[in-house]
Amino acid sequence: MEVLRTEHATMQFGGLTAVNDFNLCLNQGEIVALIGPNGAGKTTAFNMITGVYKPTQGAIFFKDENITGMRPDQITKLGIARTFQNIRLFKDLSVMDNVLIANHLHVRSNFLEAVFRFPRYRREEKEMRKKSIALLEKTGLVSVQNEKASSLPYGMQRKLEIARALATDPEILLLDEPAAGMNPRETEDLTHFIRGIQKEFGLTIFMIEHHMEVVMGISDRIYVLDYGVTIAEGTPSEIQNNRKVIEAYLGVAENA
């Protein structure tokens, strides 16, 4: 079943077209990668989907609902969460507090109920903490729940950012270069982690990644952008043997 699609999504900044006529389809339960050289427009595509940018042209649909132009918080509440290339944790807060903050997205209590700790807010707070503990257990972070986010090793900070995104109850999870800056052992561990959460939470995952061993080892399908234009789409084996993709990455013809 289709859960997300973009139709001719285009993003221009003045005279520069960062993404041109981007047509994407994500089916439920897939892991799909978006790859391309630096400056190809990958993060811009993510920003259009998550409401950071409103496309100059085209439209974006989440389960047939047009979400073009919605605010990021509205899109997250619908069920689309993301992480960022540069980790954006609340570094001075604990692991637990980082996850609890994300849980507040679905709180029904109003500001006064929270300030004066009315019964409804106390019930919701208890439920959020219970849910956060369960999430930290499933993501292997419960043993460090009281540690400052900034004190965690780099790989665990990446996992915490993903756990925080999972706390918003997404159906689609967008990962922006989750393996950036990781050594081979951390990269392998993250690959297993992503596979695990995809199955555990029944997620559809859309990711940008430069580590080809991650992309080829985990993706069902791959889209390739070059200078804002989609030059290929297919399975990992099809992409590996695509002449246009080879030229985009190497800058030479395949038979050169």
pLDDT tens column, 129-156: 898 999 999 999 999 999 999 999 999 9
CA 28 – CA 194 distance, rounded (Å)? 16
Cβ(44)–Cβ(54) below 8 Å: no
- Structure tokens of 210? 């430069």
DSSP letters for the chain: -EEEEEEEEEEEETTEEEEEEEEEEEETT-EEEEE-STTSSHHHHHHHHTTSS--SEEEEEETTEE-TT--HHHHHHHTEEE--SS----TTSBHHHHHHHHHGGG----HHHHHTT-HHHHHHHHHHHHHHHHHHHHTT-GGGTTSBGGGS-HHHHHHHHHHHHHTT--SEEEEESTTTT--HHHHHHHHHHHHHHHHHHT-EEEEE---HHHHHHH-SEEEEEETTEEEEEE-HHHHHT-HHHHHHHHSS-TT-
Would you kindly state where each structural domain of the chain is located, as residue ranges? Answer: 2-90+154-250
CA 70 – CA 184 distance, rounded (Å)? 38
pTM of the model: 0.88
* Residue position matching structure tokens 């804002």: 228
pLDDT score at 145: 95
Count Cβ neighbours within 10 Å for each residue of 39-54 and write b for 16 or more, e otherwise.
ebbbbbbbbbbbbebe
| Assigned CATH topology for domain 2-90+154-250 | Rossmann fold (3.40.50)
Q: Is the pLDDT of residue 106 over 80?
A: no
User: What value does the mean pLDDT take over residues 242-248?
Assistant: 88
Q: Which residues contact 108 (CB under 8 A, 6 or more apart)?
A: 120, 124
Q: Which residue has better confidence, 34 or 128?
A: 34
pLDDT score at 112: 65
User: What value does the mean pLDDT take over residues 173-181?
Assistant: 93
Model confidence at 252, in pLDDT bands (50, 70, 90)?
Answer: low
Cα 36 to the chain's mean position, in Å?
Answer: 17
Dihedrals phi, psi of 61, to nearest 5 degrees:
-125, 135
User: What value does the mean pLDDT take over residues 65-70?
Assistant: 96
pLDDT score at 255: 47
Q: Is the pLDDT of residue 175 over 90?
A: yes
Q: Is the pLDDT of residue 256 over 50?
A: no
Distance set, CA 203 to CA 81, 170, 194 (Å):
11, 8, 10
17: left (phi over 0), alpha (psi -120 to 50) or beta: beta
Q: Is the pLDDT of residue 119 over 80?
A: no
Tens of pLDDT, residue by residue over 2-34, are 999 999 999 999 989 999 999 999 999 999 999
